[in-house]
């Protein structure tokens, strides 16, 4: 990953453009963001945590195609409150999942871009409510994820039920491929 001041934005836009060109023809209508498509304990990644059970808070800063910190350590059974701030110039996501989950979610995010719900630096919330067929929408309301415009912040409270091979990643088209992902390590 290259992080040269002043070039990060150019690299992000280039990666975004390349990703759009290569994947636009591969994406087909599929699972929407609000259909309960496996983001949770049934996929072995944990479950939404209760604020009353939070053991600690981890601050995550999102920049244009990297996170600070780039790795987090948790314990099986631990409930963590993540405070996420988008410090970049583009829309970014913090999403906890497996590599396979991120690959599937990237297709959903591409669909959001194709339908105008997501722009490089803006989220069109009214477009996210659009019915994509079979009552599926693009509302991006999974409890293991937040999608933030530049300068915005939010939080995720997550219980890591058991040790698993997990990543946190930005699945906005081109961002994961540019290196915007980090590892969750279990102690």
Q: 108 pLDDT band (50/70/90 cuts)?
A: confident
**Mean pLDDT, range 55-61, rounded to an integer:** 98
> What digits encode the pLDDT tens for the residues 126-146?
888 877 667 777 777 889 999
Q: What is the dihedral of CA 141, 158, 166, 107, to 10 degrees?
A: 0
pLDDT at residue 45 tops 50: yes
CATH of domain 8-186: 2.60.40.420
Q: Which tokens is 103 given?
A: 């690959």
d(CA 120, CA 181) in angstroms, rounded, equals 18
Distance CA 62, CA 106 (A): 18
- Residues 5-18 have pLDDT tens digits of 344 444 444 444 43
Report pLDDT for 39: 46
Which residues, 6+ apart, have CB-to-CB distance to 10 below 8 Å?
none
Distance in angstroms (rounded) separating the CA atoms of residues 64 and 11: 9
pTM here?
0.78
Q: What is the mean pLDDT of residues 155-179?
A: 96
Taking the CA of residue 89 as centre, how many other CA atoms within 13 Å lie in the half-sphere pointing to its CB? 8
Q: Give the pLDDT of residue 34.
A: 40
Domain ranges of the chain: 8-186
Give the Cα separation of 177 and 187 in Å (integer): 27
Asked whether the beta carbons of 159 and 47 are under 8 A apart, the reply is yes
pLDDT score, position 5: 37
Q: How far apart are CA 114 and CA 102, in angstroms?
A: 18
Between the CA atoms of 12, 18, 19 and 23, what dihedral angle is there, to the nearest 10 degrees? 170
- Residue 40, pLDDT > 60, answer no
Angle at 41 between CA 114 and CA 38, to 5 degrees: 25
């Amino acid at each position: 990953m290259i992080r040269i001041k002043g070039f990060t934005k150019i690299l992000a836009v280039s990666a975004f453009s390349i990703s759009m060109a290569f994947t636009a023809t591969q994406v087909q209508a599929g699972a929407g963001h609000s259909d309960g498509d496996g983001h949770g304990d049934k996929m072995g990644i944990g479950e939404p945590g209760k604020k009353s059970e939070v053991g600690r808070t981890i601050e995550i800063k999102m920049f244009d195609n990297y996170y600070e910190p780039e790795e987090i350590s948790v314990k099986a059974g631990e409930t963590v409150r993540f405070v996420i701030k988008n410090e970049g110039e583009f829309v970014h996501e913090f999403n906890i999942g497996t590599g396979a989950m991120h690959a599937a979610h990237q297709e959903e995010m591409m669909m959001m871009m194709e339908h105008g719900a997501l722009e490089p630096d803006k989220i069109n919330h009214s477009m996210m409510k659009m019915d994509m067929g079979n009552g599926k929408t693009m509302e991006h309301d999974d409890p293991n994820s937040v999608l933030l415009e530049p300068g915005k912040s939010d939080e995720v409270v997550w219980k890591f039920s058991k040790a698993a091979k997990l990543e946190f990643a930005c699945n906005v088209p081109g961002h994961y491929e540019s290196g915007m992902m980090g590892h969750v390590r279990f102690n």
